[in-house]
Structure 1
Amino acid sequence: MDDLTYWLVFFSAALALNLAPGPDLLFILSRTLAHGTRVGLASAAGVCSGAVVHVLAAALGLSALLASSALAFSVVKYLGAAYLVYLGVQTLRSAGSSFTPKAAQDAPRSAWRAYREGVLVDILNPKVAIFFMAFLPQFVRPEHGQPTLQLIGLGLLVIVVAMLVEGSFVLLAGRATRFFREQPKAALWLDRLLGGVLLALAGRLALSER
């Protein structure tokens, strides 16, 4: 496989995987719709920061532990599910208040909190670790030496693609927040919907298998 074909296949796969709606993207969109573009971008940055941890774990072989140990996988999985339940309940309890002017004024603090939440949501999803462990080695080229460095480099490129994709979704979703600030009833139902989505993601993660 020549270099051009190699990179076309790699970036096409990375783009397709990042465009597929998964827990990370749904979490980011829920934060964006509830709190605006700034918080959405902070959530995306947090998710990508968590992904860096998984990339390093995959490169160092730590992700193999999650793939081979049912106990380790279950512990991380249930911690992640519990955290998503917590976020879902918090969203349901907000009852549309996240769209009030006061919530907009609290954006700097909310952005930092959203970043931390994004980091935890990604780190506590063992399937992300296994994804990187399964996906990245397919593109390692032995003739280029240093497989560990190649894994880290490839993983960071996947994260760059994720940042571009997620950032684009955030900018599009952010435009909808003005409408919800002007429509209290719609905001109430959206918070209920987003809370339900987070709870559904928690259930999906809790029921997932290695």
Structure 2
Amino acid sequence: MVHPYAVAGFLVALLPLIATPGASLALLVRQVTEGGRGRAVPVILGTATGLYVHAALAMAGLSALVMHSSQAFTAVRLAGAAYLVGLGIWTWRSATSPAPSRRHRRLPELSGSAYLQALLANVLNPKAASIYLTLMPQFITPGESLVGQILTLATAHALLIALWLLGWTILVGRAAHALRGARFKNIGARVTAVVLIALGVRSATA
């Protein structure tokens, strides 16, 4: 069982990392500006699922293998960078494409699942994996159940990032309501695309 003080310390240490804009926030902004606050739910769920994937990999020792092998770490980093750049290009093209007819309006939604996008963006982020291999061990008590402690801390992490994204959902939702229109949605999509591509390039060159 993780001591409450350890959970609190873990969350405080996470705050600067969560507050740094990343792919999850960029995806959330696009979804909310295009479809309203309800579209934030799959982004938040996908991000939280990604955290549990990292927790499971840490428990299995696979994350440790990636973090201690320069080749494996580089491969994961480049895969994540390529995904973000590709997602950014797709987002930009979807913003500049003409509006689809009613008959084909569902196709982009099916091909670009917000949940899957958020999940992959998190899973392919080696920095997220490093949290569970470098930061989390500082708050684990030796001799106690490792699985239980990791799951508890991962749940606390997921709840904190969910609250952070929900706060942004409210802000972006209000802005989208005040500036409703296709032009605002296109601008939001293009900004999201630029952020995703910049994050991908930064990850590839880090």
Question: TM-score by structure 1 length?
Answer: 0.81
Root-mean-square deviation (Å): 3.0
**1 CA distance for matches of 2:101 and 2:35?**
11
Preserved CA contact (<8 Å) 2:73 2:126: yes
Note the alpha carbon deviations across 1:51-107, whole angstroms, 9 max, x for none.
1100111222221111111121122112211111221111211236699996xx859
**Counterpart residue type for residue 10 of structure 1:** F
Higher relative contact order (CA 8 A, sep 6+): 2
Letter of the 1:79 partner, please give it: A
Query: Which has the higher mean CA deviation after the structures are superposed, 32-41 or 166-175?
Result: 32-41
Which residue type is aligned with residue 8 of structure 1?
A
Inter-CA distance 168–113: structure 2 relative to 1 (3 Å threshold): same
Contact 2:29 2:188 (8 Å CA) reproduced: no
The corresponding residue for 1:160 is 159
Helix, strand or coil at the partner of 2:113: helix
What is residue 87 of structure 1 aligned with on the other side? 87
8 Å contact kept, 1:88–1:199 = yes
Shift, 1:49, TM fit: 0.7
Identity of aligned residues (%): 31
**Deviations 1:105-164, CA, capped at 9 Å, x for gaps:** 859946981001111111111121112211111111125x12232122212211121112
Q: Which runs of 4+ in 1 moved over 6 A?
A: 97-102
Secondary structure in 2 matching 1:142: coil
Please list the CA deviations of residues 27-64 of structure 1 after superposition, one character each: whole Å capped at 9, or x if unmatched: 33333334432222211211111111001112222211
1:40/1:108 Cα in 2 relative to 1: closer, same or farther (>3 Å)? Answer: farther
Query: CA shift at 1:194, angstroms?
Result: 1.9
Does the CA-based 8 Å contact 1:78-1:206 persist in structure 2? yes
* Residue 9 (structure 1) shift: 2.2
- Which amino acid in structure 2 is aligned with residue 17 of structure 1? L
Mark the runs of 5 or more structure 2 residues left unpaired by the alignment.
none
Q: Contact 2:40–2:169 at 8 Å: present in 1 too?
A: yes
Instruction: Look up the match of 2:202.
Output: 204
Number of equivalent positions:
202
- Are 2:33 and 2:172, in contact at CA under 8 Å, matched by a contact in 1? yes
Residue in 2 that maps onto 1:194: 192
Q: Counterparts of 1:178-189 in structure 2 under 5 Å?
A: 178-182=177-181, 184=183, 186-189=184-187
In structure 1, list runs of 5 or more residues that go unmatched: none
Amino acid at match of 2:45: A
Partner of 1:14: 14
